[in-house]
Amino acid sequence: MAHVLIVEARFYAHLNDLLLAGTRAAIEAAGHSHETVTVPGALEIPAAVALASESDRFDAYVGLGVVIRGETYHFEIVAGESARGLMALAMDGLAIGNGILTVENEAQALERADPARKDKGGEAAKAALAMLALRERWG
């Protein structure tokens, strides 16, 4: 049984509740356990994963958050750098699922976050578990 850390940026609580529901359901359906930690924003998700990875308590990680485009360039920075940070950790051998939604508006976020629709939280959990299986296979 794997133990998965869910790291969430809870800027949009109602959307994160949906992402979390899908993530937890996927992890539990696969027979694994999980913990959740909250960070201030999407940019802090990779740092929290990196810190947690030093503890050897977790087998896989899922980053969750919602970044909605605004009127400034900040959206591009947050979207790109959070994804880059998670990818760098994955390239170092961590099993990570990226469930950080980067969308134009709340309607797009709702469609993607809802477990009854696109279930991107559940997909991120499944991706983390798939990468964990590959690491175990080749490790």
Of the candidates 132, 127, 135, 104, the one whose C-alpha atom is nearest the C-alpha of residue 23 is 127
Q: Is 14 one of the catalytic residues?
A: no
Summarize the annotated binding site for (2S)-2-hydroxy-3-oxobutyl phosphate as residue ranges.
Answer: 71-72, 112
Distance CA 81, CA 111 (A): 24
Q: Choose the catalytic residue: 14, 32, 34, 74.
A: 74
Of the candidates 86, 22, 39, the one whose C-alpha atom is nearest the C-alpha of residue 60 is 86
Q: Are strands 3-9 and 60-68 parallel, antiparallel or unpaired?
A: parallel
List the structure tokens of 94.
């961590």
Summarize the annotated binding site as residue ranges.
Answer: 11, 42-44, 66-68, 71-72, 98, 112
Active site residues: 74
